[in-house]
A and B are shown apart, each in its own frame.
Chain A
Amino acid sequence: MSSEKELQLVGEDYYSSLTELTFNSKPLITTLTILAQENISAAKYITNAIIKRITKCVPSQKLYSLYLLDSICKNIGSPYTVLFGSNLSNLFIETYTLVDDVQRKKMIDLFKTWKVTKSTSGMPLFPHEAIQMIEKFLIKVTKPNAQQLGNQQQRGNPLLHSNGQQFFNNGNINNKPQTPQTMTKSLISEIGNLQSIISGRLALNPNNAKDSQKLVILDQLKNILSSSALGPSELAGIQQQLKEFSSGEIQTTNPPVTNNQPIHIHTPPPNQGFVNNISSNSSSTMINANVNTMALNPAALLSSIASNNNHVQQSPSFTANNNSVKPNNIDMNTLFNTLQSTGLINLNKSGNMALHPPQSNKPGIIGGNVQPRKGPLKPLVNLPSTSILQSILTNTKQVKPKSDVRSALDYSDFLPTNSSNSSKLPNIREFQKLLFESKPIKCNNCGKRFTDTQESQNHMDWHFRINKRLKDTASINTRSHYLSLEDFVLFKESEILGEGGDSTTEANNDSRDVTTAPSDNSSDASKHYIVIPDDCTDMSTICNICKDTLKGVFHDETGEWVWKNAIQVNQKIYHWICYNETSSKRKAEEDKIRGVSKKPNLNGLKFDVSLLKSLSTINSLSTINPS
């Protein structure tokens, strides 16, 4: 059960991950978006965290957090759109005044997309007041751009009408290309979001019968949406009501106190007005519906939610609904499962597919614009079309936080054959995207690429340690013996990555298979320390394995001066990592002498140091550390 405090913690955690967003990293933004999606119940705090980040970070990095805001709003939509929307204009204008011209240009580009993009529910992304305010501001500050923006306004912006009914209509007109199917899908996803908000609130206050009932009704609504084919006008009705309902919900979840400004939503505030609106709407738009189908009428369902919320007298439609709620209530799990299996509420997929459209002219991490090679290359191999490549690139859904490029690639019709000479090779620009932009961080030392900063930081740490050891002329380095063929058969690369060159930490981050490693050495190491004895005068000592100096530091928890990451064995001090590494090797050697041979794990790739039988490694270590 998550408490308010825990949600707050989620927000704080989120803020600390945000501090890594110091460059335009698509994977990072994707990850953060997914995080925001997963913790939708903490939406308020996540929103606050992002706003805080945008206002607090150095100007050069503000843009990336704005991209994140953009990504979240476009992919998840409500409640984030509403939460950000209330503060958007101030945030945007403040940021704009602080950043340099290049970033301003990019902000304008970003803003342009906000004007034309629809949220997942097909509604405008942000409240039009906010958009209008920003637009006015931009026109004022960018005279040369004014014309351009003006044009845009005439051409594509349907948001400039404020009247609720008109707005509603506009939404529809604008959604012409949106088929009922996609509309249904987006509606279902919106319902999913609402449900998670409500269940989040329910977790805080389990006794709230209204909330649990709302959940049931929403489920039913989902069911109706997915099972029956509704006409566009009906869908539109649901959409509108859902929108209003959700803003009511969000405001309930998010006490107005936290916002200095009134929330700019194009619907009246909840409670009485909300209900009135709903009932009037349902009477005006839905009244024509056959009374017999009333139980299946989604709009009526929504009204019933609203009524529940506000204790108004029951409308006829509500009673009708009540009848249908009960049987469905029993079968809720089945219902939910069916929905999932039909793929209709698989929000994640549809949500993330659209992350940062590939054509957007983002600043490439790997450098400026690239001139694609002119003229077609010699056709040799059947290759997928550009669009496939792009969609693969964009489909970052499959790229897990710890990105696995392999799974992001899907060349369904890509065969190692050179029979079809008619197909063209994609130009190198496409390769570049796949190979380099998917891993934006490049090591300055060896050119290796990484998807996230933590990985690359670990890699740089590894370089640092290796270089330090390589420069240390006192240590003798020799070529180890090769494995016997039998041992090679049983060998796993995880072992070599784990010990090759003091690369214990590297192993955990570098090789995917070591996730099964028994323990994370770095976190282990930090738990080990030795309190500096009183007779020690200069606060330092040396590790008996690597001969590095250990310096004393003050340990807050115990209030003593200590040597960190150290262990004392038989009066001798060692680095915890050094000791661990050698002792595990020693153990492996002892096992071998005793004839204890561990059976290789044939299924998984376990980090199994005992398999290491490289004699020389053991020899050389025992010469350094006679035991």
Chain B
Amino acid sequence: MDSGGKSQVNIPAGSEWRFEVDFSQELTIKVVSGVVEINGTELPNNFDLKFKGVKLSIFCYQDSIIEYYGTFSSEYVSDESVVPQYVALHFALQNFRNKAATNNNLNAPRVLVIGGKDSGKTTLSKVLVSYAVKMDSFPMVVNLDPQEGVYTMPGALSATVVNDVLDVEQGWGQSILSGASAFHPTQPAVTYYGYDHINSNPSYYRYNIQKLASVVDKRLENDEMVRQTGVIIDTPALTNKDSSLIEEIVEAFSVNLIIVLGNERLFIDLKKTFSEKIYESLDGQKQFFNVLKFSKSGGCVDKDDAFIRARQQSLIKQYFYGDRKQVLSPYTITSIDYSRLSVYRIVESNKVNTTSATDNSENLDASSVLPIGMDAEEKALLEELEQSKADAAVMSASTVKKEQEKEEVPISEAPAEPEAIVTDGELIEKLEPESSSLQNAVIAFVHADIDEPMTKVLDSGVLCFGYISDANDLKKKLSVLLPVQGNLPNKTIVFGGFRYVD
């Protein structure tokens, strides 16, 4: 749809204006009058905001007028909104925080948001984080959904202290840059899981959760400001089948409030599971614990696989190149000898037939997969380029190879304790560099030197991400795109299923 010049929409107080913009489209909006918010972040008035590849709703506190132009998929006004409920929840949390600040026995809220696919988990997380920021506090947001990238790449799990308003155009905001960022940057803790589905390697996923949880725990111990505000945890789509995982997360992050979005059965089940833990008072005699249910917003829309892949590609691109507000200059190092590298692959123990970016090459024809800002002409060029690359064939070969591997690796239905997993080599495997696996791969340099043992690799966070633009098995050399200029980090590389086409 094209607005064909500037249009205006009047939104009554308490209503939402919902709109969808594809990755191939761009919508510019400007708040002419009123007080409006996107996911809890207030929009400036008379200031152009540009959206691309989003499905958003704008909530109006006052009768508001919004001017918009550009291209978009849909827009409508709805007089239903879950925002007042979310805000009420926020103020309950705020009371919780105030109580915790004066009572040493009481933890500040550590909220776990769970629900099915497209139930509004990330939206609620953003609202709770934004409102905590409005209260001048520093909430920590933990993202356990590898499909998303919160202040980092997709495939990574992260814990981030949010210190300022969110960037509504981007969704969250940027991690720290060497120069200026349009919004206050963040300094996240990042661990790399490497796949976008938690079942690709459940053991490694849980391992990462444990790792991140212990980091979060220690940070809270050291950081009074954050401890007093608490943690908001966003999760991948979870159902009743995942109750053991939910219990593990609750335990690891000392969660004291579970919010179930739009899944009555899961809510009831969890109430039963945690019935002994539940203590609905803030008097500090026992740790507060509760499970709450919120209905799914009528504005929740399905994000199909193509949309998710496009979003992931755009996040990867953003990591290296920035966005329109802050343009970044990444740096390519060519002719790196294979021998200089120490590479581990995250084992894909289950081939999950969903939105994994592994099958990127097969989907290059779908326009939704194109990196942001690429038009048809470029697409044709790209296809030509792809065809000229013999690697394309190799890539599909690698997929086949992985499927074979899958049979070799025993699938653990009930994963053992993480300590036990470390030794059995099922999480990551050492790999000799070769173009078949590394070409176009998104790689993570972790904070472990190349000669350090695997346990150190497993326990380290990410230093930076790279992208292997070219790997030549004959010359035993490859080229890496790095975010920062300088030498190749003398660090171990870990990679999973994410591929990217620059």
Contact = CB atoms under 8 A, between A and B. Distances in A.
A406 B187 contact: no
Interface string B284-308: 0000101011110000000000000
Nearest to A417: B280
B33 interface: yes
A144 B44 CA distance: 41
Interface string A471-513: 0000111111111110011111101110011110000001111
A603 B221 CA distance: 10
A381 B45 contact: no
Nearest to B163: A493
Contacts of B320: 479
A404 B182 CA distance: 25
Contacts of B219: 488-489, 491
Interface string B5-48: 00000001110000000000000000001110000011111110
A412 interface: yes
Given A410-B98, A436-B61, A482-B462, A373 B184 contact: no
Contact of A482 (B109, B281, B461): B461
Given A367-B34, A447-B165, A484-B461, A406 B290 contact: no
Contacts of B185: 496, 500-501
A377 B84 contact: yes
Nearest to A471: B180
Nearest to B95: A411
Contact of B330 (A378, A478, A489, A493): A478
A425 B189 contact: no
Contacts of B62: 366-368, 370, 432
A411 B87 CA distance: 14
Interface string A389-410: 0000000000000001110011
B475 interface: no
B162 to A, nearest CB: 9
Interface centre among A444, A446, A502 (most CB of B within 10 A): A446
B281 to A, nearest CB: 7
Given A490-B222, A602-B222, A466 B84 contact: no
B314 interface: no
B175 interface: yes
B52 interface: no
A604 B225 CA distance: 9
A383 interface: yes
Interface in A526-566: none
Contacts of B239: none
A383 B165 contact: no
A441 B93 CA distance: 25
A604 B223 CA distance: 8
A416 interface: yes
Interface residues of B, number: 101
A484 B460 contact: yes
A477 B185 CA distance: 13
Contacts of B290: 416-417
Interface in B452-497: 459-464, 483-486
B91 A366 contact: no
Interface string B196-225: 000000000000000100010011011111
B44 A428 contact: no
A471 to B, nearest CB: 10
B159 interface: yes
Contacts of B34: 367
A466 B181 contact: yes
Contacts of B322: 477, 479
A480 B177 contact: yes
A513 B137 CA distance: 10
Contacts of A488: 159, 187-189, 215, 219, 461
Contacts of B178: 476-480, 616-617, 619-621
Given A372-B13, A447-B43, A448-B165, A431 B464 contact: no
A366 B64 CA distance: 12
B386 to A, nearest CB: 27
Contact of A444 (B14, B47, B462): B47
A406 B41 contact: no
Nearest to B152: A482
A404 B184 CA distance: 20
Given A405-B136, A481-B464, A488-B215, A444 B165 contact: no
A449 interface: yes
Contacts of B294: 380, 418
Interface in B87-141: 87-89, 91-98, 109, 131, 134-138
B319 interface: yes
A426 B89 CA distance: 12
B380 interface: no
B450 interface: no
Nearest to B464: A481
B245 interface: no
Interface residues of A, number: 89
B63 interface: yes
B110 to A, nearest CB: 12
Contacts of A210: none
Contact of B35 (A383, A405, A418, A432): A432
Contacts of A157: none
Contacts of A427: 14, 84
A517 to B, nearest CB: 14
B163 A511 contact: yes
B211 to A, nearest CB: 7
Nearest to A383: B88
Nearest to B329: A476
B13 A370 contact: yes
Contacts of A512: 136
B183 interface: yes
Contact of B85 (A380, A489, A501): A380
Nearest to B318: A479
A87 interface: no
Interface in A419-459: 419, 425-428, 431-432, 434-436, 439, 442-449
Nearest to A366: B35
Contacts of A436: 35, 42, 61
A623 interface: yes
B61 A432 contact: yes
Given A431-B61, A436-B35, A477-B180, A405 B135 contact: yes
Contacts of B33: 367
A482 B189 contact: yes
Contacts of B45: 442, 444, 447
B361 interface: no
A617 B485 CA distance: 11
Given A480-B177, A500-B181, A414 B35 contact: no
Contact of A479 (B184, B218, B464): B464
Interface in A260-279: none
Given A380-B88, A425-B85, A496 B163 contact: yes
A470 interface: yes
Contacts of B176: 479-480, 496, 500, 614, 617
A503 B184 contact: yes
B223 to A, nearest CB: 6
A404 B97 CA distance: 14
A445 B325 contact: no
A600 interface: yes
Interface centre among B35, B327, B331 (most CB of A within 10 A): B35
A368 to B, nearest CB: 8
A482 B484 CA distance: 11
B257 interface: yes
B231 to A, nearest CB: 14
8 contacts: A370-B62, A406-B94, A416-B257, A446-B183, A448-B165, A479-B464, A479-B483, A482-B189
Given A372-B14, A482-B187, A496-B185, 6 more contacts: A378-B85, A381-B88, A381-B92, A444-B47, A479-B177, A480-B178
Which 3 A-B pairs give the minimum distances between C-beta atoms? Answer: A411-B95, A373-B14, A620-B178
